[in-house]
Chains A and B, each alone.
Chain A
Amino acid sequence: MEKVLLKGNYAIAKAAIKAGCSCYFGYPITPQTEIGEYLSEAMPALGRGYVCAESEVAAINMVMGAVATGVKAMTSSSSCAIGLMQETMSYAASDELPVVLISVMRAGPGLGYIYPAQGDYNQAVTGGGNGDYRTIVLSPSTVQDSIDLTYKAFYLAQKYRNPVILLSDGFLGQMMEPAVLHDYPYDEIDNSSWALTGAKDRGARQIRSLEVNQEKQNAHVYKLFEKYALIEKEEVSYEEENTLDADILLVAFGSMTRNIKAAARKLREKGLKVGTFRPVTLWPFPSKRLLELSETIKNILVVEMNMGQMTKDVKLAVNGNAKVYHFGRPTGKWVNVDEIVQATLNLGGVSYANI
């Protein structure tokens, strides 16, 4: 298939349609509004559902209602408004509903502003809702990833009956680059055993999280965690380059991956053995692979546009085997390649003899 020039947000919207998303519910917020704008034309034309919701709270609950009937549905939003949706994400996790949430990060905390940031790693990965639960978090770094991972978000949500967050950011949402808009590559999942279709020839189905019996509540949470263990076993995804001989590892997620790759090339030119590592799934986190890498690589620089949210998970992964540093800034200005090169050169414990 030919490559077309696509804006990140439109790529997500187009992929959602090709993935068979039956309903979209949304509320405007920069920098993701193009998703809702595009779908407001496309969804009715296809006879699918679209509601300009009264709030993000309403939008995510509309998604919950729609997916409970067995169809694919999603909403999209950003940062502070994703915060508004966390209650329902907790409900959806407990109810095992395949909610798909597109989160295009802007700056925070609070209202912040519309410039890009990666400050919602914790919000997405550790969840802002109540109780013990997990959401699958997929992190694109290119417009092509935005397509591929939108497909994967729908597929994993259905496969595991679990909420999935696609964690994009203001750079990826607004940038244009060539990408192939291929077809949805996954099999359709049969959900006839649980979806609400009307109590015909069977007893009524309840999709609920209220449980007045504590033994049953315990059993329910244990069952959820068995599923989470399976997801951790089966669905970890990452991308790494030049790690075989590396003694410095640059780690980033999302759009910052682009700059650590460029920085690593420059550093290699300077003679430093630098590899790169990018978690594609932020949950489940590729902890096992990072631990393996830390057997030979003793210096890890995590570059992210926040105050070190993923750095904490990298530290937990390597468990003291390597020194883990954070480099970045909370918001706004792209952490550029030369800054990353300089930060790498300034790392403690690295020999600069060959430079």
Chain B
Amino acid sequence: MQTFSIPKSLKENMIYTFCPGCDHGVAIRLIAELLDEFGLKENALTAASVGCSVFLYNFLDVDCVEAPHGRALACATGIKRAQPDKFVFTYQGDGDFASIGLAESTHAAARGEAITTICINNTLYGMTGGQLGPTTVLNQITTTSPHGRNREYHGFPLKMTEHIALCDGTAFAARVSLDSPAAIIKAKKAIKKAFEVQLKGLGFGFVEILSSCPTNWKMNPVESHKHIREELTKVYPLGTFKDLTEGL
């Protein structure tokens, strides 16, 4: 019996161009597996973001329009309002979602747009080489916080899932990680719920994925996952912060 195969919603014969050990590859595969399981590939439309996450469209066999930096959820709102019967999702990094695009992100959630958003939180701007972002944790060294994020000087990081969960239009909000096979299985369950709330018309579905960036963290992939498990989850606790499907 085959226990693993490559999902059909991924492009045939494609090879990921992410750095070794980068969690983007797993996250995109989970989305593809769920598109397969729900039979949504042919009915799905996505608005791509800016950053490493933009390469989603090179790997996923889904119609896509590329939004300017931070505007994926505005673009996706336009798609959904024009085509309410389509399955619409965005795949964004934390810089895109929570910094330059915080207004678009928050208001899509507040309006309760029936859209699913997967946000990759690697605590820095990865594509440009690892600068301080909205989610960089205190004391974290980046190329623009060379002595570590300082609370007096740089201020505090933003907690996206908690923030999105506060919006009345949010139907599901969870934070997951991909640091072990067990975590990956849990993450898939959360993304599945974020798909379901859209399909049931309950509102905005959001999953934040704590993801490794071994290249910019200057750790190997195994150490990076340990860092997520032992350090990042202290700042960004895992769990479901809102779930309107409970009791349905």
Contact = CB atoms under 8 A, between A and B. Distances in A.
9 contacts: A22-B82, A62-B78, A62-B81, A64-B67, A68-B79, A71-B82, A198-B45, A200-B42, A206-B64
A198 B42 contact: yes
B63 A199 contact: yes
A65 B57 contact: no
Contacts of B57: 204, 206, 208
A25 interface: yes
Contacts of A196: 45, 63-65, 79
A73 B54 CA distance: 25
A191 to B, nearest CB: 13
Contacts of B47: 65
Q: Which of A25, A63, A196 counts the most chain B CB atoms within 10 A? A: A196
Nearest to A49: B81
Given A64-B65, A206-B57, 5 more contacts: A23-B82, A57-B71, A61-B74, A69-B79, A69-B82
A204 B63 contact: yes
Given A54-B107, A69-B83, A61 B11 contact: no
Nearest to B63: A196
Majority-rule SS of A interface residues: mixed
A229 interface: no
A97 B47 CA distance: 14
A197 B41 CA distance: 11
Contacts, number: 134
Contact of B77 (A65, A67, A68, A197): A65
Contacts of B66: 91, 95, 206-210
B63 A65 contact: no
Interface string A40-83: 00000000011101110111011111111101010000000000
A72 to B, nearest CB: 9
B86 interface: yes
On chain A, which size bracket covers the interface? 35 or more
Nearest to A196: B63
In the A-B complex, list the 3 residue pairs whose CB atoms are closest, starting with the nearest.
A65-B78, A49-B81, A62-B78
A58 B82 contact: no
B114 to A, nearest CB: 13
Contacts of A349: none
A50 B77 CA distance: 10
Interface in B102-120: 103-104, 106-107, 111
Contacts of B45: 69, 196, 198
Interface residues on B, range: 35 or more
Most A Cβ at <10 Å: residue of B11, B44, B74, B80: B74
Interface in A191-244: 196-200, 203-210
Interface of A: 22-23, 25, 49-51, 53-55, 57-59, 61-69, 71, 73, 87-88, 91, 95, 97, 196-200, 203-210
A208 B103 contact: no
Interface string B85-99: 010000000000000
B78 A63 contact: yes
Contacts of A55: 103
Interface of B: 11, 41-45, 47-48, 54, 57, 60-68, 71, 74-83, 86, 103-104, 106-107, 111
B81 A51 contact: yes
B62 to A, nearest CB: 5
Nearest to B60: A204
A91 B76 CA distance: 15
A94 to B, nearest CB: 10
Contacts of B76: 65
Contact of B74 (A22, A53, A95): A53
Contacts of B107: 53-54, 58
Contacts of A209: 66
A54 B74 CA distance: 9
A126 B41 CA distance: 40
A150 B137 CA distance: 50
B100 to A, nearest CB: 10
Given A62-B75, A73-B82, A54 B104 contact: yes
Contacts of B74: 53, 57-59, 61-62, 65
B77 A51 contact: yes
Nearest to A200: B42
Contacts of A22: 82
B43 A198 contact: yes
Contacts of B68: 61, 87-88, 91
A61 B61 CA distance: 23
A198 B64 CA distance: 9
Contacts of B83: 69, 71
Contact of A198 (B11, B63, B111): B63
